[in-house]
Amino acid sequence: MSQGNEDKLRLMVVDDEPDNLDLLYRTFRRDFEVLKASSGPNALQILEREGEMGIIISDQRMPGMNGTEFLSKTVERYPDTIRIVLTGYTDVEDLVDAINTGKVFKYITKPWIPDDLRAVVQQAAETYRVLKKRTNELRRALRRRESLFNGVMTAIRESLDYRSMLQTIVASIGRVFEASHCILHPIENGHLTKDTFLYRDGTTDPDRTNSEGELSSLALDEGILIQTVLESHKVELDQGDADGQPYIRLIVPLTYQHNLLAILALYQSGTAYPWLPEDIQLIEGVAEQAALAISQAKLYQQIQEQTQQMRAELQVARQIQSNLLRQSMPEVEGLTVQACCVPANEVGGDFFEVYVHPQGDIWLTVGDVSGKGVPAALFMASAISVLRRELAQEMSPEPEVVMQNLNSSLSEDLIGNNRFITMVLARYNPVTRHLAYANAGHIYPMVWSHRLVTTEVSEPGRAITVEPDYLKVRGIPLGIRPVWKAAAGNVTMQSGEVFLLTSDGITEATFTDEAVENGQQTSSMLQQTGLWRLLMYEPFPFDLSHLLARVRSHNSVQEDDQTILSLEVL
């Protein structure tokens, strides 16, 4: 506070001579609330305690801290205070120093003439009052401008999409700045679009923004000004009279990074409070921020459109990829073949194939292209195409030979794109029950007697003696080397046994253990040992979809493609 009450300003007098302090006090005590200080440090302590003074009168020559040094310490914290220096010397350097560093209003020599001093102090008081009033007005105006600015920008940023944002911009600016009407013209590729967004006297009506006749009746023809702004990217202001009413037209470009995004036309007619220069400046500031918001909204809209298009394309790709896989399993007497593939994304790199050769052999394969998404899906499609070509030979080939030919056809592209394929290819003869297989870096296939294990599980207290046979003959993945070499494995299947192929999306799935430790369930990677624990408790006959449902029930988020294929000898 600079005043002790409504009428008196506070005045501080600072002098190291008590007589001068008393004289100054008696001179001004009737018209001011006077505070005395005997030194610069003492005065600073009083200011710290009492706050701003309207006027400070300080002696220049004081021990310890002279008047100029003291006054300079008050400038930053109390910029509105009027400062007067008293001195018995006419030192030019002191005078210049006091004016420059202490922001001194007057420099008075001792001994002073009382009436002259009163006149100077009265002038200082009037100057302080005017300065304080103007400062307060500017602060109020600044707070109002900040409030308007923040209000408009908050409303704009709350808009959800591009079109609603444009309507919010025109409505918010038109309402806050009391425009008779306000029109926003979006710009695309340097040209006005057919869309316009209108605010008029407190109302917004998007459905009426395309009525050219109505717009022309609301305002003077703004086409020339708009075209000028379209070319110059600069604000255009026009004032005049129409039908005896004063008007102001303001055309503002909304530009972001040198790109003209829209043109805002504001029209004010017959108002008692026309726009001041600072109002126009504030409108331009709001327009700059609105342009940034429009740019972000357009970018978001483009991303949304691209995302929707990509999703639609991926759905088509997913259907195409699904159609590449066998839609139905062959019916072979004495056998049950089941298969399922669930991509983690719209498309994936897992695949399976079931092919019945004209000679009667049943070919089974599960493969996994490294990586996910579209690149993996393209290699998956190539692998199936080449595989079917190889399997369709007149004579049923050996599994390891097919693997070699697959690697020969695909290795150059796989190596060039830093990809590889793991897969198991098996050939089963229904007559001899002989199964030959080749493994290119894939998970070990499993063979077990499902009929026997379900019998043991069904008998309470009986120990489970059945163990799975992991077929462990394996070579490197396809696409690692130009030439693939590995031995084939062989096994003879028995009645009631199941041959199972899976991808790592099954064995690496997170599984919640049924056992509870310390009151908390534990989760871990399923792996082949965990898969076997699930298989032991699968009902008879073996149902692949039931097993997959159990695995997936423990995965809230599928992290990898999941493919599984089984052949059961009845």
CB 179 within 8 A of CB 218: no
Judge whether residue 540 has pLDDT over 70. Answer: yes
The pLDDT confidence band at residue 290, using thresholds 50, 70 and 90, is confident
Q: What is the chain's percent helix, strand, coil content, to nearest 5? A: 40, 25, 30
What's the confidence (pLDDT) of residue 218?
40
CB atoms within 10 A of CB 111: 9
What's the confidence (pLDDT) of residue 426?
97
Lowest mean pLDDT among 36-45, 77-86, 140-149, 176-185: 140-149
Percent of the chain past pLDDT 90, that is, above it, reads: 44
Which residue would you say has higher pLDDT here, 559 or 235? 235
Judge whether residue 357 has pLDDT over 90. Answer: yes
What's the CA gap between 308 and 310, in Å, rounded? 5
Bridge partners (DSSP) of residue 256 are: 259
What's the confidence (pLDDT) of residue 334?
92
Judge whether residue 76 has pLDDT over 70. Answer: yes
The pLDDT confidence band at residue 93, using thresholds 50, 70 and 90, is low
- Contacts for 139 with CB less than 8 Å, ≥ 6 apart: none
- Contacts for 298 with CB less than 8 Å, ≥ 6 apart: 162, 261
What's the confidence (pLDDT) of residue 515?
42
pLDDT digits (tens, 9 = 90+) for 360-385: 999 999 999 998 888 888 899 999 99
Judge whether residue 517 has pLDDT over 50. Answer: no
CB 47 within 8 A of CB 74: yes
CB 364 within 8 A of CB 563: no
Write phi, then psi, for 189 (nearest 5 degrees): 55, 40
Which residue would you say has higher pLDDT here, 424 or 287? 424
CB 26 within 8 A of CB 49: no
Write phi, then psi, for 118 (nearest 5 degrees): -60, -40
**Average pLDDT over every residue of 182-189:** 91
What's the CA gap between 559 and 545, in Å, rounded? 19
Write phi, then psi, for 256 (nearest 5 degrees): -135, 125
The pLDDT confidence band at residue 89, using thresholds 50, 70 and 90, is low
Which residue would you say has higher pLDDT here, 148 or 356? 356
What's the confidence (pLDDT) of residue 516?
39
CB 55 within 8 A of CB 84: yes
Q: What are the C-alpha distances in Å from 202 to residues 70, 171, 174, 214, 463?
A: 56, 8, 8, 16, 84
Nearest-5° Cα angle at 130, 124 to 132: 95
CA 297 to chain centre: 12
The pLDDT confidence band at residue 422, using thresholds 50, 70 and 90, is very high
pLDDT digits (tens, 9 = 90+) for 195-229: 999 998 755 554 444 444 444 444 445 678 888 88
| Tokens linked to 44 | 């600073």
Write phi, then psi, for 59 (nearest 5 degrees): -70, 145
**Average pLDDT over every residue of 554-570:** 87
CB atoms within 10 A of CB 492: 11
CB 264 within 8 A of CB 287: yes
| Tokens linked to 148 | 């308007």
Lowest mean pLDDT among 73-82, 152-161, 206-215, 456-465: 206-215
pLDDT digits (tens, 9 = 90+) for 426-483: 999 999 999 999 999 999 999 999 999 999 888 888 888 999 999 999 999 999 999 9
